[in-house]
A and B are shown apart, each in its own frame.
Chain A
Amino acid sequence: EPEVTQTPSHQVTQMGQEVILRCVPISNHLYFYWYRQILGQKVEFLVSFYNNEISEKSEIFDDQFSVERPDGSNFTLKIRSTKLEDSAMYFCASSREGQNSPLHFGNGTRLTVT
């Protein structure tokens, strides 16, 4: 069964550094998402992407965040200047359609900001 793959599985970075989290969604899916989960807290929506542009974003997704689909297969999340509170598990997801279509999640990237 096709999977969403994320790399790296664990990223450690220093405060103020830029990080890029990478995802390869399922190939025939059209909607792409980033969520994050701070340890012990709920899974929070960051951004959704459709037709090569951001379709929705949350309050968390401020100017330090950006997303790209650079080559038709990868879907990246960039954090420009990381803060300690960005430490979390970041999940990429994709879905074939929007409404009522279940999300398929990757295994996540654990980001640790020191």
Chain B
Amino acid sequence: GNSVTQMEGPVTLSEEAFLTINCTYTATGYPSLFWYVQYPGEGLQLLLKATKADDKGSNKGFEATYRKETTSFHLEKGSVQVSDSAVYFCALISSGGSYIPTFGRGTSLIVHP
């Protein structure tokens, strides 16, 4: 079946530090990959997506590249801000059959001033 594995959190960084949150997946076919973000007290919001190998999704300074050879979709940001503190979820939608997204456990990011 489909699964998404994210690095354990929390990730604690100082402002302006470089961020990487690892995500690897197992899926049949060629899934579409997503990162969602959940700010405190809110629902999940789509942050970025990539629908085929080597695509790079980007938004708000965040980037992730769809790496088919390593089945990964790591989230990166060059310089984090306090306002980036949130929980980040990696997700996939399989290309065959179900269109239901499978989510990872979520990785909490805490950014200190």
- Judge if A75 is at the interface, Cβ distance under 8 Å: no
Contacting residues of chain B (31-61) with chain A, CB-CB under 8 angstroms: 32, 34, 36, 41-46, 49, 51
Q: Which listed residue (A35, A44, A103, A106) contacts B46, Cβ 8 A?
A: A103
The 5 closest A-B pairs by CB, nearest first: A105-B43, A98-B99, A43-B103, A42-B105, A102-B46
Q: Which listed residue (A35, A99, A106, A108) contacts B93, Cβ 8 A?
A: A99
Q: Which listed residue (B51, B98, B105) contacts A100, Cβ 8 A?
A: B51
Q: How large is the interface on B (under 10, 10 to 19, 20 to 34, 35 or more residues)?
A: 20 to 34
**In the complex, what's the smallest C-beta–C-beta distance from A106 to chain B, in angstroms?**
5
Q: Which residues of B line the A interface, CB within 8 A?
A: 32, 34, 36, 41-46, 49, 51, 89, 93, 95, 98-106
Q: Which residues of A contact B36 (CB under 8 A)?
A: 105
- Judge if A51 is at the interface, Cβ distance under 8 Å: no
Q: Which residues of B contact A106 (CB under 8 A)?
A: 43
**In the complex, what's the smallest C-beta–C-beta distance from B31 to chain A, in angstroms?**
10
Q: Which residues of A contact B46 (CB under 8 A)?
A: 102-104
Nearest residue, chain B, Cβ from A103 = B101
Q: Which residues of B contact A103 (CB under 8 A)?
A: 44, 46, 101
| Pair B43/A102 contact, Cβ less than 8 Å | no
- Judge if A19 is at the interface, Cβ distance under 8 Å: no
* 16 additional A-B residue pairs with CB within 8 Å, beyond A42-B105, A104-B46: A4-B43, A6-B43, A33-B100, A41-B105, A43-B44, A43-B89, A43-B103, A43-B106, A45-B101, A45-B103, A48-B100, A93-B44, A98-B99, A102-B46, A103-B46, A105-B44
